[in-house]
Structure 1
C-alpha cells in the first residue's frame, strides 16, 4: 500500500498538523497533571497550539481536493 493513497498529496502539512496536535496535548496534560507554580502557561498554551494546527489541517484538506478537468475548462 502506498503512503500517498492513505495521506494524500500533502504529507508535509499532515505531519506538521499531527506534530502540533501532539505537542499541544502534551503541554496541556503537563499543566493539568503537574504541581508547578506556572501551570496556567501550559494549560493555556496547549489548546492554542492545537487551535493553530487547524491551519495545517485545512491546508492538508485543500491540497487533497481533486477537481475534474472538465470543470476547470471554460464552457
Structure 2
C-alpha cells in the first residue's frame, strides 16, 4: 500500500507521530490520573516523561521536513559555481590568512619566513611582541 501524500522519509514521520501520540497519552495520564504507589505520587514523573517525548518528536518532524525539500538541478548548479563577487574575494582572502597563520608547532624555516613577514609591519607599538616571538620552539 503506497501513501503518495506522505512524501519521503516515512520512518522519520512515523517516529515523530509515535513519539507525539505516546508523549501526549503519558502527559494526559500524568495530569488527570491519580497515580500513587506506596504513598508517592507519580504524576510528575509522567508529566515530565510525556513532555520529553513530545520534545524528542521534534527531531523526527525536522528530519521528515528537511527530507522532503526538493531542489531543482539548476538551483544546485548555481549554488556550487565559483563566486566572483567582492564578498567572495574577501572571504577567500581571510580564509587563506587563517590557514597560513602561525602555529605553535612551526619548524625553523617556516618560523624565519613568517618573522620576515611580521618584521615588515611597523604599526606595532614599541615594546609589543609579535605572536611569533611568543612561540617557544621544542
* TM-score after normalising by structure 2: 0.51
Structure 1: segments with no counterpart, 5+ residues: none
Quote the offset at 1:47 in angstroms. 1.0
Alignment of 1:52-67 (within 5 A): 52-67=56-71
Which has the larger Rg? Answer: 2
Quote the offset at 1:48 in angstroms. 1.0
Greater length-normalized contact order (CA 8 Å, ≥ 6 residues apart) = 1
* TM-score after normalising by structure 1: 0.90
Alignment of 1:33-72 (within 5 A): 33-36=32-35, 37-72=41-76
Superposition CA RMSD, Å: 1.5
**Number of corresponding residues:** 74
Structure 2: segments with no counterpart, 5+ residues: 36-40, 82-138
Runs (4+) of structure 1 moved beyond 4 Å? Answer: none
The C-alpha deviation readout for 1:31-73, integer Å capped at 9, x for no partner, is 1111111110001111111011001100000000000000111
